[in-house]
Structure 1
Amino acid sequence: MDYPGFGLSEGLHGYIPSFDRLVDDVVEHFSKVKENPEYRALPSFLFGQSLGGAVALKVHLKQPNAWSGAVLVAPMCKIADEMVPPFLVKQLLIGIAYLLPKQKLVPQKNLAEAAFRDLRKREMTSYNVIAYKDKPRLQSALELLRTTQEIEHQLEKVSLPLLILHGEADIVTDPSVSKALYEKASHKDKKFILYKDAYHSLLEGEPDDMIIRVFSDIISWLDDHSNKSTAS
């Protein structure tokens, strides 16, 4: 699923006027999917990577009893300090955002360099023509910052079976907050895997052996929890 303004969806590229509206779109879409008689009796899991991890958590907080579990890959519970502008610059950008919300003015490190450990795969990111590669738009950056601050203060409200996967060397989203989510989440069925030396993009940017390992961990967990859900 491409969010509005991302991938091949309609909307200004890379623009998030409201993160809550984006989450509501996801809730509406998958609520309709789950109304299908073919799927109604099946277990359903939230899956989100990076920004999608924040979306998945917000969906769960809006629908606390609607999902059988969640798989979160390097979830955006907090943007790593290395990716956030200095305090004075941040305050200046917040002020400008009220006047020029769509402008691409947020300073940012090279995301491919920060997120992809495998050099060959890092080079291939330039061929992804639908990916947003410019500086973040002001309103989008503020929405992400506001959302991560909100999530960080609600970790104990996360109350569903949980698999959290994070790269130890991630400098895009903060692995320490994923660990805090694991510790504070109220459901007893939870698992946190920290991959040594891995960067942010666990499913696309790592050497093949690491990617295979991550997918194996996800599939194993989903198999186990699909059987549990079916049995219950």
Structure 2
Amino acid sequence: MDLALASTFRPLPSPEYTLFIRDLHTPFSLRQQLNHRPPLSRRTVISMAQKKPKIDGLSDELNSIAAQNLDHAPARRRVRLAFSDLQQQLDHILFKMAPAGIRTEEWYEINSNGQEIFCKSWLPKPGVRIKGSLFFCHGYGDTCTFFFEGIAKHIAASGYGVYAVDHPGFGLSEGLHGYVPSFEGIVDNVIEQFTIMKGRPEIRGLPRFIFGQSMGGAIAIKALLKSPNEWDGIVLVAPMCKIAEEMTPPVPLQKILIFLSKLVPQAKLVPQKDLADLAFREFNKKQMAPYNVISYSDQTRLRTAVELLNATKYIESQVDKVASPMLILHGGSDRVTDPQVSRFLYENCSSQDKKLKIYEGGFHCILEGEPDEIIFDVLADIISWLDSKTYVK
């Protein structure tokens, strides 16, 4: 769920920010301005962190746990442990209607950079034939736990092995929270971990598909481009594969972001507006989003913003090379990732086996924040498409 990402690319109306940009045209050097107060100091850029709001209905003790600093993985793991049972009891259709008997497994792999990467699998209940495997790439700030738990269980119940990782710096994996020093590094980590998972005996030799949501769509596309023969198809939900024109920063601002990202790469940007209203169409489901307590919802880090912007530029230039079978699903009223971008991908990729479905009125989180019937429609569309690719006469 790429909420912070969307605001990174929106024009920022803050008077302080506007003054800072205007002052860049004065004779002062950018480095001098970073150390000049006012309008916006280097110290301010580095330390403008949001205070987490209290979660309604939680005890002071749990709110205190949720509010702790989550920069590093051990803290995120402790918080997730404290909330995991509570999350599954939320009044959400993904949890209430989760199929029984699904076999789950959690473990950590050490990647080639020496980081502990959280991995998880969901398999059909014993006795159900596995038809294929689906490998999930989560979006910016998100994790493969919480809402995806319910999504994965529904897909697994239909006969698929579902596998996922938390990207470095997100969820339960090691790395500074919300920090993407290299988008290429995230893609390489996905390829590395999924290659290991493909060797698991329960799915060896079966069709395999990569699945990306939002920023995870960009990761999945780039992983596919790097090893196209490794996949039998790709599923994309509200993919971030091109920044809409109205969301793209002006060229001077892009240059400033790039420069600042070299000086203070881990620094956070100015505060962003709460974009949950743009992601969840149903109010009661939006209220559950804060229970995803290990998600990254703070300001986007400078290097992260630059890496994501560069990734979309690269993917936009390479979509004609995407030739695998493809399913693209998008909410028609999505204002976080533009559905027109999905149309662009559909029309410009070279795949001869492709399907695009736009859900009229749907917001960004069509698998999490829509009316129940829409969520089930999206799940059914994914499963039906997978079945069409794994059917054996």
Q: TM-score, normalised by structure 1?
A: 0.93
Aligned to 2:230: 66
Shift of 1:81: 4.7
Aligned to 2:215: 51
Kept in 2: contact 1:166–1:193 (CA 8 A): yes
Percent of aligned pairs sharing the same letter: 56
Per-residue Cα deviation, 1:53-81 (whole angstroms, up to 9, x for no partner): 11110110000111010110001112345
Kept in 2: contact 1:116–1:199 (CA 8 A): yes
Aligned to 1:166: 330
Shift of 1:83: 4.7
Local SS of the residue matching 2:236: strand
Shift of 1:148: 0.5
What is the alpha-carbon distance in structure 2 between the residues aligned to residue 193 and residue 140 of structure 1?
30
The residue identity in structure 2 corresponding to 1:20 is: E
The residue identity in structure 2 corresponding to 1:109 is: K
What is the alpha-carbon distance in structure 2 between the residues aligned to residue 95 and residue 219 of structure 1?
45
Kept in 2: contact 1:82–1:171 (CA 8 A): no
What is the alpha-carbon distance in structure 1 between the residues aligned to residue 374 and residue 305 of structure 2?
30
What is the alpha-carbon distance in structure 2 between the residues aligned to residue 15 and residue 210 of structure 1?
33
| Shift in CA distance, 38/125, structure 1 to aligned 2, threshold 3 Å | closer
Per-residue Cα deviation, 1:131-189 (whole angstroms, up to 9, x for no partner): 11101111111111000011011111001000000111111112112111111221211
Per-residue Cα deviation, 1:109-131 (whole angstroms, up to 9, x for no partner): 32312211111111221222101
Kept in 1: contact 2:368–2:375 (CA 8 A): yes
Shift of 1:35: 2.4
More off after superposition, 21-30 vs 176-185: 176-185
What is the alpha-carbon distance in structure 1 between the residues aligned to residue 247 and residue 271 of structure 2?
9
Aligned to 2:382: 218
Match of 1:101 among 254, 265, 281: 265
Cα RMSD over matched residues? Answer: 1.6
Aligned to 1:92: 256
Aligned to 2:135: none
| Shift in CA distance, 93/106, structure 1 to aligned 2, threshold 3 Å | farther
- Between structures 1 and 2, the one with greater helix share: 1
Please state if 1:157 is matched with 2:321: yes
| Shift in CA distance, 97/150, structure 1 to aligned 2, threshold 3 Å | same
Kept in 1: contact 2:243–2:341 (CA 8 A): no
What is the alpha-carbon distance in structure 2 between the residues aligned to residue 108 and residue 155 of structure 1?
30
Q: Which has the larger radius of gyration?
A: 2
Runs of 5+ consecutive residues of structure 2 not aligned to the other structure: 1-164
Give the aligned length.
229
Aligned to 1:19: 183
Please state if 1:180 is matched with 2:333: no
Kept in 2: contact 1:83–1:108 (CA 8 A): no
Aligned to 1:143: 307
Local SS of the residue matching 2:288: helix
The residue identity in structure 2 corresponding to 1:137 is: R
Please state if 1:77 is matched with 2:77: no
Runs of 5+ consecutive residues of structure 1 not aligned to the other structure: none
More off after superposition, 105-114 vs 176-185: 105-114
| Shift in CA distance, 148/82, structure 1 to aligned 2, threshold 3 Å | same
Match of 1:118 among 282, 286, 290: 282
Per-residue Cα deviation, 1:67-117 (whole angstroms, up to 9, x for no partner): 010110001112345555555444322221110110111554323122111
More off after superposition, 15-24 vs 181-190: 181-190
What is the alpha-carbon distance in structure 1 between the residues aligned to residue 276 and residue 245 of structure 2?
17
What is the alpha-carbon distance in structure 1 between the residues aligned to residue 292 and residue 239 of structure 2?
22
Structure with the greater relative contact order (CA < 8 A, sep ≥ 6): 1 or 2? 1
